Amino acid sequence: MSRQPHNSAFRVILVMATLMLIGAAMIPLLNIQYSPGIRQKQITVWFNWPGASARVVEQEATSKIEGALAAISGIQEMYSASYKDGGSVSLAFKKEANMDAVRFDISSRIRQLYPSLPEGVSYPSLSTGMDGESASPVLTYTINADLPTWQIEQYVEKNIAGPLSRVEGVNTVSVAGATPREWVVTFDPNRCAPLGIAGSDIVAAFNTRNRNDQLGLGMMPQNGSDTLRQIRIGLKQAPLPPGEWDRMAVKSVGGRIVRLGDIATVEHRQKLPETYYRINGLNNINLTVYAEKHVNTLVLTDILKEKVGQIRTGLPPGYSITLADDTSVYIRGELSKIYWRTGLSILILLLFVFLTSRSWRYLWMIVLTLGCNVLVAFIFYNLFGLEIHLYSLAGITVSLGMIIDTSIIMIDHYGRFRNRRVFLAIMGALLTTIGALSIVLFLPESQRENLVDFCAVIVINLVVSMFISVLFIPALLDKCPVYAGAKSGRKRFRTRAKRRVARFTALYARFLRRSRRLKWVYIVVAVLGFGLPVQMLPAKIEHKNAPERDSTVWVRAYNATIGSDFYQQKAKTYVEAALGGALRLFAKDVYSSDFYNDPERTKVIINASLPEGCTVHQLNETMRDMENFLSGFDEIDMFRTSITAYDNGQITVTFKPEAEKTGFAFRLKDLATTKAISLGGADWGIYGVGQAFNNSLNSGWKSNQIVLRGYNYEQLYRYAEELVDSISVNPRVSEPEIMGRISYRGGDNRTEFYLDLNFDRFALYGLSPSEYYRTLSQQVYRSSLPSFYNDGQMEQAVLVSSEADRFDAWHMRNDILAVGDRDVKLSELGTLVKRKSGNNIYKYNQQYSLIVAFDFVGSYELASRFTERHVERLKAELPVGYSVVNNRGGGWWGDSGGSPYWLLVLVIAIIYFICSVLFESLRQPLVIIVMIPISFIGVFLTFYLFELKFDQGGFASFVLLSGLVVNAGIYLINDYNIFRRGGVAPGLGTYLRAYNRKIVPIMLTVLSTVLGLVPFVVISREPFWFSFAAGAMGGMLFSIVAILFFLPVFLPMKR
């Protein structure tokens, strides 16, 4: 291709300069976060129905809501849960769904459906974050004043939370920590019983006092004129302040008016909270600001702090507002580490370029093209709405080495030969890398969310670098040649270098000629070096249904050789060592590590739960002891306590920056474990660092689970019962149960007290069950009273029995109470027994789901065969509309049942097709593919020799290597084919000509890629990035072996 005219080069440079200015101007518009925003295309509709069982809830409410919502377009999956006192329906939508339109459609359908729902069902509510995105807290403030907390909360809601919620980018502002007061009327049921007064009579007296009766219509003059207007006439009693409730008439008994003060006491006290939320163990008013997604968190926090500063100046005397938590501080610190790592990577790469080129002009060319690439890429980051967070910043850092690789190849080629023939090789190399990264789209949703921006920035940077290499670099070289005007000393050095290259080429050629005659040696070395998975062979092959004598010849031969006692006990160790290769070392000593770790701030999580029947207040008292223990450590930055139920309490502990760099988090975890053991009474779980601790002995978890699904619940339950009867015959099966759902916290089975009435005794004593129930209900009576205004404030009141907190199962069995007109022992009329209540009912895509869970005494393989045998039997017996699966769960890959490593096969296929098109050959790409497993040997050895932990970053290094290591082969084979098409005879000599032409820039690109990853392993050993960089560096260095030896040996060429 001819040299580009100078006026054309000037136009290209001018356009690129303009794009660089636009990119620089867009830097403030970038959405900078710490962690990626999780887009949840999901909406949950929930409702309450007090007193209703799970079965009634499902039949009368959940199924109707499901039917109404099933017709909404864009639904991908539908889940529902029906439980005692309520239910929920969750809808997962496709990516293209318009969530605003969906929310409107759901609201409309619920509004139409609600009148047909049974009485008592609350109006269905939609979950928060209905736009499909979860909000994240950015700032937390603590507000103090010398006033009751409920008054502080009212002021904060109106004067602080309101203005902050109107700031653009704020999702919600929550205020927590207030303990409202209520008026408690406590009556004595034993004093009321002789008077014939029940709790409902007291409630009726309050309702009568607050009743507003309509007497009719009347006429009155309008504005002093003779014109009359119609008005409503009502009768309302004067409000009675709580201090005078004692004289309120309740009922007339025997001609005597019984007043409230005769049978009850009135007290104004703090209402017991339903949930608890504290920071550092203090009962303060906490204001938390949640940010919307796709906003710059750092900019938003600055705006909010300025707004709070303005509010602080106008606070009433005695009020103070203190910043308790600022996530932007940690984000800025972590981003500064990433910026430092990126800057160090650039410095290392530029220093490497200068040392290898020893030319300031060459270095300037690299800096200019690198800066142009990054600034132009900023334009596309904004156009595609990418978030800049720790994953995408790491992607930018990783791509810097690739960008410099592309620049080195084009500068070297165009600077020497003044043509763009290398562009096809550059494009093919970049497309293979992009193709390898594209498999992120096939990852499960939870993993794809973390890596999609990481891959997106790399793809954008590589595409931009491709256009810069074909347009901008030639234009710069036309204006400012790199290799022009070489000095005489440098010419003499190049002459000596050419002589050394000629001598090396002659030796290398003789070596390759001999090696090409011994290809089988290289095949054996490659296979044994990579390794055969002989360690994964089963000890024996056992047919599921047929005895061994009916097995095939191959099965009998396998069991007689590999399955023999001699092989398993004596030869197996030596065979695996000889044939297992690097794969055996990797699989044996490395792969067993945890696969996924999320980079985040160091935390210690302390969970606590109490047995069923306890209260959230009892759990709060237990966790208070742990909070007092934690408050004694100065190294702790903050600990947040959240208690939402009797079995769900959590303390999240974060540490000061200087403490994070030490082992204090591990020490605290051990001390907290000792404290939890000493406290006792609760089930504790402590994790976050080191080995997790859990002292729960009654988790309810079962190791084996069989899931049944169908469209008729009763029939499905019968199938589940038949399965339980079938597996119970085996003595190895322990405690089989039918559950609606199971997790590591156990199943959803709950227990209840069941009163078995003795009707013979009722007839003997002349009593009725209704009288018995009325007596019991008065002992535990609790009911809300009408709310009222007191001194301009709306206040709440409640009526409770004085026996409500004392009356328990023991009193139920032993007390003697008045039932009707007799005093009887309660246990004579009914027996109180504890039993399991009904399961919660779950549906998946409108199919009922039940789990038969059990423990199996035996090996994992034996349990798997036993479970699979019953699953296969049920599959053959179940009618259409019913299904059964063996629920073994999944790791980080989710429940898809697949493995991520089949994606590596997809990567290889993508690379093969790209190279086939580029080379116009079906044989040459096979040599490129051979380089991939050879580079994997380097990854295996890196993790084994340095005893590194393999996680998701290690898998990402495999993916990236698949696209990177083939680049060198593409450059070499492309030049080889150019020579062939130019009329040069094919053969080893032609290959060596291409080799000498490209080996120097190829080695520079390999080393620059490795050096660009050095900051990831030097600065800190963070999850994901350390294993990613270590694996990629090991694989890239080992690819040199494939470039120098395997590629020329297996490349098809005529001698």
Q: Round to whole Å and give the CA distance between 391 and 38.
A: 13
* 626 vs 282: which has the higher pLDDT: 626
Give the structural domain span for 852: 704-745+841-886
Q: What is the pLDDT of residues 642-663, one digit of tens each?
A: 888 888 899 999 998 888 888 8
Q: How do residues 529-563 score in pLDDT, each as one tens digit?
A: 999 988 888 877 765 554 555 467 888 888 888 88
What is the token pair recorded at 285? 């008013």
Q: What type of residue sits at position 1010?
A: V
pLDDT band for position 891 (cuts 50, 70, 90): very low
- In this structure, are 914 and 1017 located in the same domain? yes
Is the confidence at residue 356, as pLDDT, over 90? no
- Higher pLDDT residue, 794 or 709? 709
Question: Are 824 and 961 within one domain?
Answer: no
Burial category of 586 from C-beta neighbours within 10 Å (exposed 0-12, middle 13-18, buried 19 and up)? buried
Question: What band does 40 get if pLDDT is binned at 50, 70 and 90?
Answer: low
One domain for residues 772 and 915: no
**What CATH number does residue 45 fall under?**
3.30.70.1430
Q: Do 965 and 817 have their domain in common?
A: no
Tell me what pLDDT residue 92 has.
Answer: 86
Which helix (H) or strand (E) segment is 216 a member of? strand 212-221
In terms of Cα–Cα distance, which of 542, 850, 856, 537 is closest to 721? 850
How is residue 436 written in tokens?
């390898």
Least-confidence region, from 100-104, 171-175, 271-275, 965-969: 271-275
- Assigned domain for 210 exists: no
- Quote the pLDDT of residue 874: 92
Residue 497 within a domain: no
Mean pLDDT of 876-880: 90
**Claim to verify: residue 125 and residue 138 sit in the same structural domain:** no
Which of 327, 347, 367 terminates a domain? The answer is: 347
Read off the pLDDT of each residue in 792-821 and give the average, rounded to a whole number.
Answer: 83
**Mean pLDDT value of segment 410-429:** 88
Does position 277 have pLDDT exceeding 90, yes or no?
Answer: no
Position 597 pLDDT exceeds 70? no
Distances (CA, A) of 985 to 50, 536, 924, 988, 991: 88, 48, 17, 10, 10
Residue 127 has pLDDT above 80, yes or no: no
Give the helix ranges, DSSP H, for 631-767.
Answer: 657-660, 664-679, 713-728, 759-765
210/212 Cα distance (integer angstroms): 7
CATH number reported for the structural domain that contains residue 1055 in this entry = 1.20.1640.10
Domain stops at, among 132, 164, 196? 132
Name, in order, each residue with C-beta under 8 angstroms of 882's C-beta and a sequence gap of 6 or more: 708, 709, 710, 711, 715, 716, 719
Asked if residue 878 is part of any domain, the answer here is yes
CA distance 1015 to 339: 11
Joined tokens for residue 527: 């296979």
The listed range with the strongest mean pLDDT (422-426, 747-751, 813-817, 953-957) is 422-426
Note the pLDDT of residue 132: 37
- Do both 870 and 721 map to the same domain? yes
Q: Which of 820, 854, 886 is the last residue of a domain?
A: 886
118-124 mean pLDDT: 85
- Do 100 and 163 have their domain in common? no
- Higher-confidence position of 952 and 822: 822
> Mean of the pLDDT values across residues 1015-1038?
84
What CATH number has the domain bearing residue 824?
3.30.2090.10
Instruction: Decide if 892 is inside a domain.
Output: no
Q: Tell me the per-residue pLDDT of 719-733, one tens digit each, with 9 for 90 and over.
A: 998 999 999 999 999
Judge if 981 and 1005 occupy the same domain: yes
Q: Does residue 59 surpass a pLDDT of 60? A: yes
Q: Are 765 and 826 in contact (CB under 8 A)?
A: no
* pLDDT for position 97: 81
> Are residues 789 and 764 located together in one domain of the fold?
yes
Burial letters for 924-960: b for 16+ Cβ neighbours within 10 Å, e otherwise?
Answer: bbebbbbbbbbbbbbbbbbbbeeebbbbbbbbbbbbb
Note the pLDDT of residue 707.
92
pLDDT confidence of residue 488: 47
Phi then psi dihedrals of residue 286, to 5 deg: -110, 130
How would you class 68 by CB atoms within 10 Å of its CB: exposed for 0-12, middle for 13-18, buried for 19 or more?
buried
**One domain for residues 684 and 777:** no
pLDDT higher for 890 or 150?
A: 150
pLDDT at 942: 92
pLDDT digits over 295-348, tens only?
A: 778 888 999 999 999 999 999 988 989 898 888 887 788 778 778 888 888 898
Q: What angle do CA 704, 709, 711 make, to 5 degrees?
A: 160
Of the ranges 359-363, 694-698, 809-813, 927-931, the best mean pLDDT one:
927-931
CATH of residue 289's domain is 3.30.70.1320
What pTM did the predictor assign? 0.68
The more confidently predicted of residues 23 and 236 is 23
Regarding whether 715 and 679 lie in a shared domain, the answer is: no
Written as one letter, the residue type at 53 is S
Average pLDDT (739-744) is 70
Non-local CB neighbours of 63 within 8 Å, separated by 6+ positions: none
Say what the pLDDT of residue 604 is: 93
326 and 309, same structural domain? yes
Mean pLDDT for 797-809 is 86
Torsion angles phi and psi, residue 702, rounded to 5 = -120, 135
Work out the mean pLDDT of the chain and round it to a whole number. 84
Give me 1055's structure tokens: 């001698």
Tokens of 1052: 């098809």
Pairing label, strands 181-187, 793-801: parallel
Task: Return the pLDDT at 369.
Answer: 94
178 belongs to a structural domain:
yes
pLDDT band with cut points at 50, 70 and 90 for residue 889:
very low
Confidence of residue 635 (pLDDT cuts 50, 70, 90): very high
Number of domains the chain is built from: 8
For 728-740, give the DSSP string: HTSTTEEEEEEES
The string of pLDDT tens digits covering residues 903-942 is 778 888 999 999 999 999 999 999 999 999 999 999 999 9
pLDDT of residue 1020: 67
Q: Is 643 inside a domain boundary?
A: yes
Contact 430, 368 (CB under 8 A): no
Give the pLDDT of residue 152: 87
